[in-house]
A and B are shown apart, each in its own frame.
Chain A
Amino acid sequence: MAVVTYRDALTQALREELQRDDRVFLMGEEVAQYNGAYKVSKGLLDEFGPMRIVDTPITELGFAGIGVGAAMVGLRPIVEFMTWNFALLAIDQVVNAAAKMLYMSGGQYKMPMVFRGPNGAALQLSAQHSQAWESWLAHIPGLKVLTPGTPADAKGLLKSAIRDDNPVVFLEGEMLYNTKGEVPDGEHIVPIGVAEVKREGSDCSIITHGKMVLVAMKVADELAKEGITLDVVDLRTIRPMDVEAIAASVQKTNRAVVVEEGWELCGVGAQVVDFIQRECFDDLDAPVIRVHQEDVPMPYAKNLERLAKPDAAKTLAAVKKVLYLD
């Protein structure tokens, strides 16, 4: 197994799928000549040419719609948003067009396409550039929503996304591109809709996804020193959600902390907690606690930004609380 960055894992997935199926093309701002704003598409223009690696004007709504139209007649577009913050300009195409086309056409027009790009906060990019969109997007029937947290999942899930005949929203962690991890050699596919227990433990479950998986692992390392073991469930896919994996973990540990990057109200964690209270009510030894961004737009100042974000310290405190150790 090779150790590669999250970025290179994504590039591998793109390259392999572009080679595998000539209906697949990549479209977005700066994806071709510039090699991608985050260099995820590095080298692809040279290999596949300008008809398949397509630089667009700054026109998110327009090119997202071009992707939808191309998918309607059988191509397999990958639409890259420079970041998901800018995808708001295209949300009509994602929500009103891609997600609905199959249903409102009575099953005649499927949408084999991927909308992808970086999601969530990086460092000091402040309010408009530091947002996690998964709870918004996961709300929509007709979409699949993926949030890989590791290089292996990034590669395996992106390949599944490109092969899927449905519109897939693929949320990459903006802070994850440089992280490294082992990626299996050769064909590596991760199924959509299947969570993974990233760390086995028995004292408390952490249910999380995306970038916060790394935070959860850090907390698990920390608490292991105190003899507390955590079961870290990485959802990997938000829609459809692997509720069996959540139930299995909570039934084992009887306690849970749900960690996400986004805001609290109507967040992904709210859905997870709802599921736990319905399906695992008798298993619980403590109320479930959620960790999330503070209910404020992301501030710029370093100290304030740190206060606003969910992090290892907040997660650790939450775990101690559900273990009644605080």
Chain B
Amino acid sequence: MSTLAIDIQALRFSWPDATQLQLDIPAWQVTQGQRVFLHGPSGSGKSTLLALLGGVNVAQAGRCSVLGQDLSRLNSATRDGWRADHVGFIFQQFNLIPYLSVLANVTLPCRLSARRRIRGGGDVITTAQQLLQRVGLSETLWHKPAMLLSIGQQQRVAAARALIGQPELVIADEPTSALDAARQQDFLSLLAEVCSEAGATLVYVSHDARLAAEFDTVIALNDINKAAHV
């Protein structure tokens, strides 16, 4: 149980045209299967850190090892492939491709990654339907274009998509901020539940520390980030 899902050492990152370091993290570890709640004020660099964890951006210095893979050592094409294989994403909003059906949106990761297609087990469509049922999206909506759904429904679809093909890491960037308070808590519980069912590590980001109850670890970005200037 002591395998590390995330292992960061002496990581430094700044955006190309910025004068200051955005992130300077001496050390941060997350063991596999943990549910981590990361919070911090707006603009503190939470999304930036998630982009590094997902291999969308790369740190200028230090080690950013995710699921045993040092991401800064991979070239960008390999990183894209690695991300497709191992990471599920949920964002604040605009998660879905508006003109594709709900089902087509959920199966998208399996189309971009052979590994997730195989891990999805059997028929991709069936798996997608099971996940949609699990997140409580009624069957009448499955074949509708994603743009016709409410924000709350869209976020459920996004959760199903993040989980299809059993990625080891699920990254959620304020997925509930567009929902009302009651639904926020519902969604959060659901996400935490399905992630622990799947054994996935969940890194959940929010500026609202009140949501942290369900999580194994709660951490403030400014506590691990020495470049906290905001």
Partners in one complex: no
Interface residues of A (CB under 8 A from B): none
Interface residues of B (CB under 8 A from A): none
